[in-house]
Structure 1
């Protein structure tokens, strides 16, 4: 079985978990944050390894990490604190089955040769479990720090991706990208298998470009009805560009209510619901064509380890598991 098949089974939906593995946006989590004197959005990741192993062993399809180069209090989000690429290498050794995805690496801030080498290294060491999600970046403060023009992000995104793809090829022609090079220059290691590329949002590109150049489209949390329209938009682009079906990925911010029988109440990017009604809620997304759903538990009033255990026991059996 191709590793990508763990995430994508046509007509079905798989489930993943999104870092950070902390409920620091819940009432209890916020109280602990204040006690620890942490800024808002800086999670407690002291239990990250045990939780990552629990999620892997539970049978979830993917673990998703975000790329936040610097903490900006105006955004109030430090992601999982650890730098994404070395942390992926660590997680590849600490887990066995789960896919490891980025949602998403800020591609315009990356040196493409370095990213090509790092991604191929992780792909080799993880038994081809890497999903390379790429995004444009939306935090203006970061770009001057990297001496990069914020307004040129879409162009840089395309150029960097072209270089990465060329670097991964056997007998690559990097001279075509860097005219000062001698022929025969190579970047090693090469990926053992194709690394699935996942574009987050539009990343400054047309939907037709994404349909041709990515293996999946990762979209931000949306209500069910809006998700259906976005899924139709994706399928139309694939058809227009003569592409085979490719997965539509989304995410939700889930507050798993300690009351198991609590019915669903919406909030921005997701909602609050008890475990006994969570399957019904997620099935609504499966029914409109979402192929993979990444669950973010930062708002969960149920502690993360307990939420994972409940979802494993009650919800996962109704969805595709690895």
Structure 2
């Protein structure tokens, strides 16, 4: 088995988030209003602590290296390792997940060092989600060729997978004569789970062979069922009988009227909590194992939404 084909054994935190025939619910940070560019990240950490205490299974953090006038996200995101470190030091139970570190624009050994650091600070609560990025001009800014994205993703995955496995192994880019054998510290007691977020330009068969699961964006229910069927077929071809998770990032504009029916918005729904429960039950039945909510605070304070979902929705799914 090559390094790239290594699937780390299931950790307790991975099984808390991704379990066969169950659905768990997480929260994506930062929580912002539409077109909001200035974010109080101390408040975001407080919201993460609130969600952690109320029983959300995961807190997700994005990696947005650079901003530009033509990029639609105006938020000045913190470096993900800094925000993950702050969340690791201020939360107790929720998994911390990178959604997703841009594997093609960062050296995989730097990523592994960050993963070791967050996993240590959080006492084993880190899941390493990686993606490939999708903006060619950003590739150019980092001296990368976007046409090499697929190959670069696979090469970096090989190095990263070897580093976060147990035992950890450092694969250097080059090893001149007399070079020492390197290793990463602090040592880990278990492998760090490695998750594909998006496709990274790879086939679903490749993802099924190499990752603990596949995280995608929300699609309308019929398309999502088709995507899950495609995923299950790939898992059966690549790892017959094995469990590989399927997760969805979904935008949520939660109405203050519990009975309001669900209506489509970009990448999610505007809905009251009763219809949200029905939607999530349907997603679980169609094969989704985890949903992270990208909450809109345009109409209601984020704290109110987090508390309402925790009071009415989480008990339906979290045992």
Task: Map residues 165-314 of structure 1 onto 2, 5 A cutoff.
Answer: 165-168=161-164, 170=167, 172=169, 174=171, 177-180=173-176, 182-243=179-240, 244-298=242-296, 301-314=299-312
Give the aligned partner of residue 98 of structure 1.
94
Q: Distance in 2 between matches of 1:293 and 1:97?
A: 17
Give the aligned partner of residue 83 of structure 2.
87
Return the TM-score normalized by structure 1. Answer: 0.89
Structure 1 residue 233 displacement after superposition: 0.9
Structure 1 residue 80 displacement after superposition: 6.4
Q: Distance in 2 between matches of 1:172 and 1:46?
A: 36
Q: Pick from 19, 23, 35: which aligns with 2:29? A: 19
Structure 1 residue 167 displacement after superposition: 2.9
Q: Distance in 2 between matches of 1:286 and 1:167?
A: 33
Q: Pick from 135, 150, 154: which aligns with 2:150? A: 154
CA contact (8 A) 1:65 1:80 kept: no
Q: Distance in 2 between matches of 1:171 and 1:205?
A: 25
Return the TM-score normalized by structure 2. Answer: 0.90
Q: Distance in 2 between matches of 1:133 and 1:222?
A: 20
Superimposed CA distance per residue, residues 243-262 of structure 1 (whole angstroms, 9 cap, x where no aligned partner):
51111010111110122221
> Which runs of no fewer than 5 residues in structure 1 stay unpaired?
none
Q: CA RMSD in A?
A: 1.9
Superimposed CA distance per residue, residues 32-77 of structure 1 (whole angstroms, 9 cap, x where no aligned partner):
x4xxxx4xxx545451121111000010110111110011232221
Give aligned pairs, total: 306
Give the aligned partner of residue 123 of structure 2.
127
133 and 173 in structure 1: CA distance in 2 versus 1, 3 angstrom threshold: closer
CA contact (8 A) 1:171 1:184 kept: no
Q: Distance in 1 between matches of 2:185 and 2:90?
A: 24
Structure 1 residue 183 displacement after superposition: 5.0
